[in-house]
């Protein structure tokens, strides 16, 4: 079979509209739609309305639909020839908080291109990738006046805070959202020049642990030694979560872990991955985790428990002799099929109860969670994506797992009962959630061509 190519009409349109596509993306990135911060609620709403207007401008019917949280933007185009399939494209228009601001080379909401990279909060996660979809759809409608399939575009504003209201939204609009496949670009490629299709995502169970001791901070000389120190009690609890081999020591934690399909594990071993390179990229000399597993196995196929943050006692300049009254830690588990966040919550709470020292009160609160996901990778949409990525990147994609989480993927699969294709255009080191987030301009360009080609390939 000849290597697939990007259709000439779409290529020509994309090339001649390059500047406008970038200018509009810059406008989108300038809106500080930080979903976690109430002071940014007007900006988050402004981003939703901005997107709604852009969808209307390319010929979609579009509306901003309120939820108990941030609204959903729903765009629809349903004029494909009779019998054509319907696809649902999902993305998110909210972004993570930009702090710490002083670590950005240029401000988070002033998009800037340096060394072929577009820097801005949301450039890769996920406004840039959502924009790829909008402009790919425009390429079709502008050149041909039509699309080969019906398209629903759903953009949410709460992904970065746990998609709390999205499952209910999908259930409540299941008929309207009925489709043949869901397509999501909110992830990364394996390496520069190597496009990928995701075979799995990890799930999440997030907790806050609070340890409370004396009724106020105490002089550590006058009371220390006789009163249980909440910071030490918390440190003790945290230290019981893993055994010496890096396994999680919570009873029953691994009970539901399914073996990973042999074909996926075999494929993983063939990927060009180097521990030396990985250590250099993250700036460490030695790697940790479960003994006897490769790095990719640890990242993609195994569950984890990590401390995300800790707070206790005096942390200012110099020394202060104090016995803190309380201590807090944020702890989260990444989950793999078939672990259930609710069951993990029960097991973790039982474990903490067992190991908590006397003399302090310990509470565990579950913050949010999401189920792990595994793709079956069979079907038209996956084959079409493989050809479209080949056309745009000059080589066939690899299949890869992913350590991050997109909780709504399982909801789409369960409620709409359709396959979900995850194809992303970020890169390792892109600084998602961190200062100096970027997307490679060339990946944006090629991603746009891949997605524009996808709709032709899917309906061939
Ligand atoms: N885009 C990411 C998820 C992701 C990251 C997918 C890297 C593939 C590669 C998404 O916006 C995200 O950050 N999700 C959160 C989950 C959540 C419940 C806050 C995550 O993984 O921490
Ligand atoms: Zn994110």
Q: Facing residues of 155 across strands?
A: 73, 91
Mutation probe of ligand 1 site: the residue of 406, 421, 428, 443 with most atoms within 8 A of C-beta:
406
Count other Cβ atoms within 10 Å, centred on residue 183: 25
Beta carbons of 35 and 161 less than 8 angstroms apart: yes
Atom of ligand 1 nearest to the CA of 198: 8
- Total residues found in the chain within this entry: 460
> Does a structural domain hold residue 151?
yes
Mutation probe of ligand 1 site: the residue of 34, 91, 125 with most atoms within 8 A of C-beta:
125
The alpha carbon of 356 and the centre of ligand 2 are apart by a number of angstroms equal to: 33
* Binding-site residues, ligand 1, Cβ < 6 A: 125-126, 159-160, 162, 186-188, 204, 368, 370, 402, 404-407
Atom of ligand 1 nearest to the CA of 370: 18
Closest listed ligand to the CA of 205: 1
Both 405 and 337 in one domain: the answer is no
pLDDT at 264: 84
Atom of ligand 1 nearest to the CA of 206: 18
**Domain final residue pick, 335, 370, 405:** 370
**What CATH number does the domain containing 213 carry?**
3.30.70.360
The alpha carbon of 166 and the centre of ligand 1 are apart by a number of angstroms equal to: 15
Structural domain boundaries enclosing 226: 203-257+303-370
Structure pTM?
Answer: 0.94
Atom of ligand 1 nearest to the CA of 426: 9
The alpha carbon of 405 and the centre of ligand 1 are apart by a number of angstroms equal to: 5
Both 87 and 190 in one domain: the answer is yes
Both 322 and 406 in one domain: the answer is no
Would you please indicate which residues are annotated as catalytic (active-site) residues? 94, 159
Closest by Cα among 113, 352, 368 to 250: 352
- Residue whose CA lies nearest to ligand 1 atom number 4: 404
Closest by Cα among 401, 415, 423 to 337: 401
Both 334 and 421 in one domain: the answer is no
The alpha carbon of 75 and the centre of ligand 1 are apart by a number of angstroms equal to: 23
pLDDT at 270: 93
> Does a structural domain hold residue 282?
no
Tokens of 301: 């196929």
Q: Is 5 exposed, middle or buried (0-12, 13-18, 19+ CB in 10 A)?
A: middle
**Domain final residue pick, 340, 370, 400:** 370
CA distance 264 to 402: 12
Both 86 and 125 in one domain: the answer is yes
> Does a structural domain hold residue 268?
no
CA distance 346 to 288: 27
Number of domains in the chain: 2
> Does a structural domain hold residue 417?
yes
Q: pLDDT tens string for the chain (460 positions)?
A: 677 999 999 999 999 999 999 999 999 999 999 999 999 999 999 999 999 999 999 999 999 999 999 999 999 999 999 999 999 999 999 999 999 999 999 999 999 999 999 999 999 999 999 999 999 999 999 999 999 999 999 999 999 998 999 999 999 999 999 999 999 999 999 999 999 999 999 999 999 999 999 999 999 999 999 999 999 999 999 999 999 999 999 999 999 999 988 888 899 999 999 999 999 999 999 999 999 999 999 999 999 999 999 999 999 999 999 999 999 999 999 999 999 999 999 999 999 999 999 999 999 999 989 999 999 888 999 999 999 999 999 999 999 999 999 999 999 999 999 999 999 999 999 999 999 999 999 999 999 999 999 999 999 9
The alpha carbon of 146 and the centre of ligand 1 are apart by a number of angstroms equal to: 33
Strands 304-312 and 203-212 come out as unpaired
Mutation probe of ligand 1 site: the residue of 159, 203, 309, 433 with most atoms within 8 A of C-beta:
159
Using H for helix, E for strand and C for coil, what is the string for the chain?
CCCCCCCHHHHHHHHHCHHHHHHHHHHHHHCCCECCCHHHHHHHHHHHHHHHHHHHHCCCEEEEECCCCCCEEEEEECCCCCCCCEEEEEEECCECCCCCHHHCCCCCCCCEEECCEEECCCCCCCHHHHHHHHHHHHHHHHHHCCCCCEEEEEEECCHHHCCCCHHHHHHHCCCCCCCCEEEECCCECCECCECEEECEECEEEEEEEEEECCCCCEECCCCECCECCHHHHHHHHHHCCECCCCCECCCCCCCCCCCCCHHHHHHHHCCCCCHHHHHHHHCCCCCCCCCCCCHHHHHHHCCEEEEEEEEECCCCCCCCCEECCEEEEEEEEEECCCCCHHHHHHHHHHHHHHHCCCCCEEEEEEEEEECCEECCCCCHHHHHHHHHHHHHHCCCCEEECCCCCCCHHHHHHHHHCCCEEECCCECCCCCCCCCCCEEEHHHHHHHHHHHHHHHHHHCC
């Amino acid at each position: 079979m000849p290597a697939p190519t990007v259709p000439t009409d779409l290529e020509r349109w994309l090339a001649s509209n390059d500047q406008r596509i970038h200018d509009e993306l810059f406008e989108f990135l300038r809106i500080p739609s930080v979903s976690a911060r109430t002071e940014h609620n007007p900006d988050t709403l402004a981003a939703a309305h901005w997107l709604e207007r852009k969808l209307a401008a390319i010929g979609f019917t579009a509306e901003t639909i309120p939820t108990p949280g941030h609204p959903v933007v729903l765009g629809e185009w349903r004029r494909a020839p009779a019998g054509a399939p319907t696809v649902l494209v999902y993305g998110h228009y909210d972004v993570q908080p930009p702090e710490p601001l002083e670590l950005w080379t240029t401000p988070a909401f002033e998009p800037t291109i340096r060394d072929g990279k577009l820097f801005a909060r949301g450039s890769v996660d996920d406004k840039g990738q959502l924009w790829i979809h909008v402009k790919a759809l425009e390429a079709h409608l502008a050149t041909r006046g039509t699309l080969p399939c019906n398209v629903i575009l759903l953009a949410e504003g709460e992904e970065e805070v746990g998609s709390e209201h999205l499952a209910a939204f999908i259930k409540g609009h299941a008929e309207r959202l009925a489709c043949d496949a869901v397509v999501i670009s909110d992830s990364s490629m394996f390496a520069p020049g190597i496009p990928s299709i995701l075979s799995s995502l990890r799930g999440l169970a997030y907790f806050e642990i609070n340890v409370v001791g004396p009724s106020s901070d105490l002089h550590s000389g006058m009371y220390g030694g006789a009163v249980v120190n909440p910071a030490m009690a918390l440190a003790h609890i945290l230290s019981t979560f893993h055994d010496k081999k890096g396994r999680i020591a919570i009873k029953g934690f691994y009970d539901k872990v399914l073996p990973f399909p042999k074909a996926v594990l075999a494929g993983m071993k063939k990927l060009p991955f180097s521990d030396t390179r990985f250590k250099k990229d993250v700036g460490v000399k030695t790697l940790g985790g479960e003994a006897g597993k490769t790095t990719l196995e640890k990242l993609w196929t195994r569950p984890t428990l990590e401390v995300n943050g800790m707070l206790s006692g005096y942390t200012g300049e110099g020394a202060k002799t104090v016995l803190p009254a309380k201590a807090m830690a944020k702890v989260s588990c990444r989950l793999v099929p078939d672990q259930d966040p609710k069951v993990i919550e029960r097991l973790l709470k039982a474990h903490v109860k067992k190991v908590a020292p006397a003399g302090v009160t310990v509470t565990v609160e579950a913050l949010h969670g999401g189920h792990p996901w595994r793709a079956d990778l069979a079907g038209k949409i996956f084959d079409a994506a493989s050809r479209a990525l080949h056309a745009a990147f000059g080589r066939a994609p690899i299949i890869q797992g992913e350590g991050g989480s997109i909780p709504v993927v399982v909801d789409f699969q369960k409620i709409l009962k359709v396959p979900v294709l995850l194809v992303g255009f970020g890169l390792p080191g892109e600084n998602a959630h961190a200062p100096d987030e970027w997307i490679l301009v060339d990946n944006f360009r090629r991603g746009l061509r891949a997605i524009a080609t996808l709709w032709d390939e899917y309906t061939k």
